Chain A
Amino acid sequence: MSRNLYDLIGLVAAVCFILALKGLSHPKTARRGNLIGAAGATIATLLVFFFTGNKGESEYHSLPLHHFGLILGAVALGLLVGVPAARKVQMTQMPQLVALFNGVGGGAAALVAIVEYLKLGSGASTAAVYATVFTVIVGSVSFSGSIITFAKLQELMTTRPVVFPGGRFLIAANLAGVFAAGGWVINSGGNKPLLVLGGLSLLFGVLFVLPVGGADVPIVISLLNAFTGLTVAASGYVLQTTLLIVAGTLVGASGTILTRLMAEAMGRSLFKTLFGAFTAKPQEASGSAEVRPVKSGSPEDVAILLNYARRVVIVPGFGLAVAQAQHTVREMADVLAAKGIDVAYGIHAVAGRMPGHMNVLLAEANVPYEQLQEMDEVNPTFAQTDVALVIGANDVVNPAAKNSPGCPIYGMPILEVADAANVVFLKRSMRPGFAGIENELLYDPKTTLLFGDAKDTLTKVVSALKNL
């Protein structure tokens, strides 16, 4: 296949990627969008196997590719690992899988740039050397950072920020080392500097993610996703391949926007989220010494409250998913809807373990997406809501985010459940949420607490509702 034809079909693949991202932005077209993206990726991959270059030019070579068998073997191995992992993963474990896939992509991009650099040797252009340095740094950071993120989410290690004495200096020294090694590669070239650069960058990825607390991990995944995109774009520059530049840049740009949207949803600047971790002392869970009275009820009490409501808003949190209670919630919503009660789900942008995660978990339980309302949509309706049912969520409804400056979640927009006539919290215990902050709303006279496992309790509520 000639260079022109190759570039032309490459352009088709690039358009597929743009259409894919566009399609992914609406529930109706999302699935088709993803399939268009997959088609683009397939076209792009098949294309390489038929590229020969123009006869008589230096890039001309005969087919099949060198090491054809080994290449196919490596692709097959990737398929054997990737497809079953994607098929079997639980929806609750989605964030760690995305982190892992992102990490291996970053690793692959770094390796591609390294191999190309080794081959070019002293023949590499200045721009290609700079692009290689960028790719190795960002790709390695993305790789090791994603692995640590994966370990945190999979709870292979603590989810709390890991802060140690002198950590800040170590990370600053590490960063300086990365830049110095980058300069070394650019000035003297050769394999040893590149190896040092890769090693230091891997270490930086680890040190960068360690101090990030569990609640901020989604932002890190999204940021690393954008990083990997840019890495791919830079390796496209090294290889002079337009398609890689377009695809990588699209992901880099969209990843940046997503990261910003997420940081906004948590009510803080991106800078603070990422670098706040270096300065913050680990928050001790403020276990209140005094025991204050709370109103707790039985599943039957809650069923009665729900039965006579006109509008019910369900606010789900990760606790719901942990208890695997999504299906029971949907069953309850169906029972309520059959009684003519208006039911909606109020979904905070950061409910779950990554943005939009809760929507996926509820979609898995066949909740129609029209019922899933975003914060801006649902907040004005709480005043007309009879019961706000908070299941396994805490920080996203905590008024401390509005009222107590200085608390870690201060400034985060919350779901205003306090505006509803009644608030019901389904909780396992009085333990504060992920961020470790006391929730005043629990002591409010209009709040009823329902203790127990979310799934068991909801099952009782459903059967009580059916008997009413």
Chain B
Amino acid sequence: MMSNGLALLSIFTLSVFVGFEVVSKVSSTLHTPLMSGANAIHGVILVGAIVVADHASNNLELSLALVAIVLATINMVGGFVVTDRMLEMFKAKKK
């Protein structure tokens, strides 16, 4: 049985390789939406922000956590919406 820290480190390492692999063959046509979509994915920090808001034991912690929730929501939702708007426009030639 691995220690928890080591398990997390393994997950991290394997994710690095997956991350390299999935985007290594992207055509430059899609660089902007890809960057924007990846940007939206790291908005998942919202999960962390909600967890720390739940744990908050004083007003300082709570206020900081709530600010983090607002910022993370903007990042996540705004990111996916704007990426969808861009991709909606990428159409193939009408046959």
Contact = CB atoms under 8 A, between A and B. Distances in A.
A137 to B, nearest CB: 16
A255 B35 contact: yes
Contacts of A225: 35, 38-39, 42
Nearest to A110: B68
Given A82-B77, A225-B38, A250-B15, A25 B23 contact: yes
Contacts of A364: 89
Contact of A355 (B28, B45, B87): B28
A34 B75 contact: no
A37 B74 contact: no
A355 B19 contact: no
B90 A34 contact: no
Interface in B1-39: 4-5, 8, 11-12, 15-20, 22-39
Nearest to B52: A115
A368 B39 contact: no
A229 B86 contact: no
Contacts of B87: 30-31, 34
A270 interface: no
Interface residues of B, number: 81
B66 to A, nearest CB: 5
A437 interface: no
A65 B47 CA distance: 13
A71 B84 contact: no
How many residues of A sit at the interface, in one of the four size bands? 35 or more
A349 interface: yes
B60 A118 contact: yes
A241 B48 CA distance: 8
Interface string A254-297: 11111001100100000000000000000000000000000000
Contacts of A82: 73-78, 81
Given A41-B76, A109-B48, A369-B29, A245 B53 contact: no
Interface in A108-146: 108-109, 111-112, 114-116, 118-119, 127
Contact of B52 (A239, A247, A265): A239
A232 B85 contact: no
Interface in B33-67: 33-57, 60-62, 64-67
Contact of B23 (A21, A65, A87): A21
Contacts of B22: 18, 21-22, 25, 250, 254
A40 B26 CA distance: 21
B22 to A, nearest CB: 5
A111 B67 contact: yes
Given A25-B23, A38-B80, A48-B51, A247 B44 contact: yes
A229 B33 CA distance: 16
Contacts of B37: 20-21, 24, 33-34, 37
A370 interface: yes
Given A118-B61, A251-B38, 7 more contacts: A24-B37, A79-B77, A85-B78, A109-B68, A111-B68, A237-B12, A252-B19
28 contacts: A18-B18, A24-B33, A31-B84, A34-B83, A38-B84, A40-B41, A45-B46, A65-B53, A75-B69, A81-B74, A82-B76, A82-B77, A83-B81, A91-B86, A94-B82, A108-B68, A109-B48, A225-B38, A232-B44, A237-B8, A247-B41, A253-B16, A258-B38, A262-B31, A359-B29, A366-B91, A369-B92, A370-B93
